[in-house]
Chains A and B, each alone.
Chain A
Amino acid sequence: MNESLLINISIALLFLPLLGFATVIFLGKKVPKIYLFEVFIVGIALIATMALMFVKLAYYQSHDIIMAFNWFSIGIAGMKDSFTVELGIKLDNLAVIMLFVVYLISFLVHLYSIEYMRGDKRYNRYFAYLGIFTFSMLGIVLTHNILMMYIFWELVGLSSYLLIGFWFEKKSASDAGKKAFLVNRVGDIGMFIGIMILFTHYKTFTFDTIFAQMALGNIPFNSTWVLTATGILIFMGAVGKSAQFPLHVWLPDAMEGPTPVSALIHAATMVAAGVYLLTKIFVMLTADAMLTIAVIGGITSFVAATIAITQNDIKKVLAYSTVSQLGYMVLSIGVGAYAFAFFHLVTHAFFKACLFLGSGSVIHSMHHEQDIREMGGLRKKMPITYYTFLVATLAISGIPLTSGFLSKDSLLAGTLAFGKLTGHWLLPAIGFLVAALTAFYMFRLVILTFHGKPKNQHKFDHAHESPFVMAAPLVVLATLSIFFFYTPNPLSAGDGWFISDWVKTPHTVVPASAAFDFMVDHSAAHSAKAINNDAHSATNSSEAVTNKSHSSEANSSAHGEITHSELYTETMHWAHYPAMFASLIVAGLGILLAFVFYQWRKVDADKLAESIKPIYKFSLNKWYIDEIYNATVIAGTLVLARFLSLFDGKVVDGAVNGAGHTTKFISRLGGWFDTFVVDGFVNFTAFVSGFIGLSFRRLQTGKVQTYLVLVIFSVIIILLVIRPF
C-alpha cells in the first residue's frame, strides 16, 4: 500500500458513516431494516481500519502521511491580508490507533444496540445518529489543522446532543442534552479564542506549520505569556469536552441517553477527544500551562472520585468514574507524561466501554432499573456480564495483568516524577488517593450489583443473561483489557510496542525559558536546529509541509527514545517501582475496604454515612456544583435577560414610544391652541354679539302695548335730550 492509497482509505473511512447516516435518515421511513446498512458499513470500515492501522504501524511507523486541500481563500492571493484555509488529513500513529479504537467500539456498540434498542419507535434514527457521531469523531481524529478540529468538535457536540436527548419526551433527557451542548460551548469559546490567537499570528490553522514557526522562536505576539494563555484557552475546549472540573457537570447528566451511547460517546471516544486535543497541542504547552492543566486534571479526578463513592445509580457511578479517569489523563498530560496519557486513553476506552455495556446489560435485563440498591446477586443469572464486568473493574482499579494496571501505573509514575522534578508533591498524592477511591467505589458497584442477595425479588426473577449480540461485545472489550495486547511484560508498559514503538513524545517547541526544564532536550539542540531549517524552507505550500513533517519525524526517530531531557528519563526510571508498589497498595486497600463494607458487612456503610452526614451529603449531592451553577450563572443570566427584556420594552422602546407620544402631545397642544386661541378669538366675537343679542331679546315681549310704551318713553327721552324747543 502506498501513501496515497492510505489517505484515500482514510478519507473513505471518514465519510462512510456519513453515508450511513444519510441513507438511514432518508430511507428510514420506507425501509424498516435500513439500520442494518449502517451496521454493515461500520463493520466493513472496521476491517479496513484494521488493515490501515496494520500498514501504518508496520511500514510507516515513523512517517506521517498528510494530505491537504484548499477549502476557501480570503483576499486576492499575494495581497495584504490574504490567506487560504485548508482542510486536511494527517495520519500519524495516534490517529490510526484512535481510528481503530473509535471504529471498534462504534461497531460493537452498533451490534449491541440492535438488541438493546429493539422496539424503540425511532429505531432507525438511532442508528443514523450513531453514524453521524462516528463521522464527527473520526474528523477530530484525522484532522491536521485546528480549525477542522473545531468544526468536528462542534459536530460531535451536535451528535452528543441528539443522542443524549434521544428519548426527548423525557424532560430530563432534553435538559441533559441542552446542558451538555451549552457547557461544552463554554469550553469551546475558550478554544475558539485560542484558535483566533494562533490564526491572527500565524495566518494558518495547520498544526505542523504553527509548531514549526514556534520552534523557530516565533511565538504569538512575542510573549510567552500569550503562549501560555493560548495553551490554556485551547485546553478549555478539552475541559468542556473531556468533562474536567469545573465543566464536568454535563457528563453525569448525559447518562439520560441510551446506555450504548453512554458507552460509545460518554465513556470511550468523545470525552477522550479533549485528551486527544491535548496530545495534539502538547508541544506548544508552556510550563505554566502544563501546571494549570495538571492541577485541573488532579482536581477533576479527585472531585469526581469523591462523588462516585456515594452514588446509587449504576450509570452515575460509572459516569463519575469516567470523569475521574479523564482527570487522570489530563493530569498526565500536564505532568508531561504524554505517551501514558494516550495509553490510558486507549485502555480506558476499552474497559470503560465494557463497563458501560455491562451496566447496559444489567439495566436491560432488570427492566430499566438503574438503582444499585435494588440489585444484587446477579452473578449467577448473568455470568458473562459478571465476568466481563469484573475484568474491566480490575482493569480500572489497576490490578496487574490488566491493561489498566499498565497505563495507570505508568501514569502515576509520571506524576511522581513530576513531583520530584518540580516539588509539586500534591499531584502524585492526589493521584494515589484517587487510585484508592477508584478501587473502592468500583468494587462497591460490583458487590452491590452482582454479589449478595437480590434486593428486589420481582425484578431479579425477570433478569436473564443478555443475548449474543449484547454479550459478544462485552467479551471482546474485556479481552482487550488484558495486558498482552499492549506489552509482553505485564508489569511495565515501557517495554511494550505501544509505548516504545507507536506513541512517542514529541519535542516541545516552546522557548526553553518558558518550558519546564526537564522538557527541554538539551542534547538535541543541534537536531532542533535542523528541524527549524526544514521548517523554514517549507512553510509555503501544503506539500512542503508534508516534507517538513517527514523530516522532523525522521529527526526525532533518529534520536531514539530520548524525547525529554536525560534528567526526565532518569527520574521516570526512579519513579517506576515506587509508583508501582504504591498503586498496588492503594488499589488493594480500596478493594479490601469495599469488601469490608459491602461484602462481609463488617462495618455498616449506612451507619458510617449517618455519622458523617455532612460529608456524605456533600458527596451525594455532587459537591452542590449544579446547585451553585443554577443559582449563580444560570439564574443570573435569566435575571439579566428578563431585566434587559424589560429594559428593552420600557426604556428603549419606551423612548421611541415616548418620542411618538411627545410628538403627539405637541401636536395636540398645537391643535388645542388652534382650536381655543386662534379659532377661539373668532368664536368669541360671535359669542359676544350673541350675548348682546340675547340680553336685548328680553325687551321683545311680543306685547304691542309694551312696545308702544317704549316708543313713547323713547320719544320723550329723545325729546328731552335733543331739546328741540
Chain B
Amino acid sequence: MINVGLNHFLIVSGILFSLGLYAVVTRKNAVMVLMGIELILNAANINFIAFSKFGNLGLTGQVTALFVIVLAAAEAAIALAIVLNIYKTFNNVNVDEIDHLKD
C-alpha cells in the first residue's frame, strides 16, 4: 500500500482548487459560479485538514475546516439570495451581462 502523504492531499486539493477556479472564471451561470466557489472552499478545507494531520497545527486545522463548512453554508445561502434578487432585477443570471459594477 502506498503511503498517503501530505503531497497527495495537496495535489488533490490543488486539482480541486483549479477545477473550482475554472468553474468560477468560465461559467456564465451564477449558480455554477457559486458551485465553483464551493469547490475552492473545499479545496481549502482539504488543505487545512492535511496540514492539521501532517503539520504542527494540531486540531486548529480541523476546527477551521468545520468553521469554513459553516461559513460556506452561510455564504451559499446569502449568495443564492443575491442570485435570486439579480434574477428578479435583470431576469437573468448570466454574469457576463451583469456588469453594472463598471459604472
Partner of A700, one of B96, B98, B102: B102
Evaluate contact between B96 and A703: CB separation under 8 angstroms. yes
Complex Cα–Cα for A712 and B96 (A) = 19
Contact indicator per residue, chain A 695-717, by CB within 8 Å of chain B (1) or not (0): 00000111111001100100000
Q: Give the distance to chain A from B84, nearest Cβ to Cβ, in Å.
A: 17
Evaluate contact between B25 and A701: CB separation under 8 angstroms. no
Complex Cα–Cα for A263 and B69 (A) = 141
Q: Give the distance to chain B from A713, nearest Cβ to Cβ, in Å.
A: 11
Complex Cα–Cα for A701 and B25 (A) = 14
Complex Cα–Cα for A164 and B100 (A) = 100
Q: Give the distance to chain A from B90, nearest Cβ to Cβ, in Å.
A: 13
Evaluate contact between A712 and B102: CB separation under 8 angstroms. no
Evaluate contact between B101 and A704: CB separation under 8 angstroms. yes
Complex Cα–Cα for A704 and B102 (A) = 10
Complex Cα–Cα for A673 and B100 (A) = 43
Evaluate contact between B101 and A702: CB separation under 8 angstroms. yes
B24 at the interface (CB under 8 A from A): yes
Complex Cα–Cα for A712 and B20 (A) = 13
Evaluate contact between A701 and B102: CB separation under 8 angstroms. yes
Q: Give the distance to chain B from A703, nearest Cβ to Cβ, in Å.
A: 5
Q: Give the distance to chain A from B16, nearest Cβ to Cβ, in Å.
A: 16
Q: Give the distance to chain A from B20, nearest Cβ to Cβ, in Å.
A: 11
B44 at the interface (CB under 8 A from A): no
Give the chain B neighbours of A709 by CB distance below 8 A.
Answer: 25
Evaluate contact between B24 and A705: CB separation under 8 angstroms. yes
Partner of A712, one of B21, B99, B100: B21
Give the chain B neighbours of A705 by CB distance below 8 A.
Answer: 24-26, 33, 95-96
Question: What's the dominant secondary structure at chain B's contact region?
Answer: helix
Give the chain A neighbours of B33 by CB distance below 8 A.
Answer: 705
Q: Which residues between 41 and 82 of chain B lie within 8 Å of chain A, taking CB atoms?
A: none
Evaluate contact between B103 and A702: CB separation under 8 angstroms. yes
Task: Report, as a range, how many residues of chain A touch the other chain.
Answer: under 10
Contact indicator per residue, chain B 13-51, by CB within 8 Å of chain A (1) or not (0): 000000001001110000001000000000000000000
Give the chain A neighbours of B95 by CB distance below 8 A.
Answer: 703-705
Partner of A702, one of B21, B26, B102: B102
Give the chain B neighbours of A702 by CB distance below 8 A.
Answer: 98-103
Evaluate contact between B99 and A703: CB separation under 8 angstroms. yes
Complex Cα–Cα for A705 and B103 (A) = 16
Q: Chain B: which residue is nearest A712 at the CB level?
A: B21
Q: Give the distance to chain B from A704, nearest Cβ to Cβ, in Å.
A: 7
Q: Chain A: which residue is nearest B30 at the CB level?
A: A704
Give the chain A neighbours of B99 by CB distance below 8 A.
Answer: 701-703
Q: Give the distance to chain B from A433, nearest Cβ to Cβ, in Å.
A: 116
Give the chain A neighbours of B101 by CB distance below 8 A.
Answer: 700, 702-704
Give the chain A neighbours of B25 by CB distance below 8 A.
Answer: 705, 708-709
Complex Cα–Cα for A3 and B35 (A) = 149
Q: Chain B: which residue is nearest A703 at the CB level?
A: B99
Partner of A708, one of B24, B100, B102, B103: B24
Q: Which residues between 624 and 643 of chain A lie within 8 Å of chain B, taking CB atoms?
A: none
Complex Cα–Cα for A701 and B24 (A) = 16
Complex Cα–Cα for A334 and B29 (A) = 133
Q: Chain A: which residue is nearest B97 at the CB level?
A: A703
Q: Chain A: which residue is nearest B27 at the CB level?
A: A705
Q: Chain A: which residue is nearest B102 at the CB level?
A: A702
Give the chain A neighbours of B102 by CB distance below 8 A.
Answer: 700-703
Give the chain A neighbours of B24 by CB distance below 8 A.
Answer: 705, 708
Central interface residue in A700, A703, A709, by most chain B CB within 10 Å: A703
Give the chain B neighbours of A701 by CB distance below 8 A.
Answer: 99, 102
Q: Chain A: which residue is nearest B96 at the CB level?
A: A703
Complex Cα–Cα for A703 and B103 (A) = 11
Q: Chain A: which residue is nearest B33 at the CB level?
A: A705
Complex Cα–Cα for A702 and B103 (A) = 7
Q: Chain A: which residue is nearest B26 at the CB level?
A: A705
Q: Chain B: which residue is nearest A700 at the CB level?
A: B102
Q: Chain B: which residue is nearest A699 at the CB level?
A: B102
Q: Which residues between 671 and 725 of chain A lie within 8 Å of chain B, taking CB atoms?
A: 700-705, 708-709, 712
Give the chain A neighbours of B98 by CB distance below 8 A.
Answer: 702-703
Complex Cα–Cα for A704 and B25 (A) = 9
Complex Cα–Cα for A705 and B94 (A) = 12
Complex Cα–Cα for A704 and B94 (A) = 12
Complex Cα–Cα for A705 and B100 (A) = 13
Q: Give the distance to chain A from B83, nearest Cβ to Cβ, in Å.
A: 12
Give the chain A neighbours of B26 by CB distance below 8 A.
Answer: 705
Give the chain B neighbours of A704 by CB distance below 8 A.
Answer: 95, 101
Q: Give the distance to chain B from A588, nearest Cβ to Cβ, in Å.
A: 127
Complex Cα–Cα for A708 and B96 (A) = 13
Complex Cα–Cα for A483 and B99 (A) = 134
A/B interface sample: 22 pairs, CB < 8 A = A700-B101, A700-B102, A701-B99, A702-B98, A702-B99, A702-B100, A702-B101, A702-B103, A703-B95, A703-B96, A703-B98, A703-B101, A704-B95, A704-B101, A705-B24, A705-B26, A705-B33, A705-B95, A708-B24, A708-B25, A709-B25, A712-B21
16 additional contacts, CB 8 Å, given A702-B102, A703-B99? A700-B101, A700-B102, A701-B102, A702-B99, A702-B100, A702-B101, A703-B95, A703-B96, A703-B102, A704-B101, A705-B26, A705-B33, A705-B95, A708-B25, A709-B25, A712-B21
Residues of A within 8 A of B (CB): 700-705, 708-709, 712
What 7 pairs between A and B have smallest CB-CB spacing? Answer: A702-B102, A702-B99, A702-B101, A703-B99, A700-B102, A705-B25, A709-B25
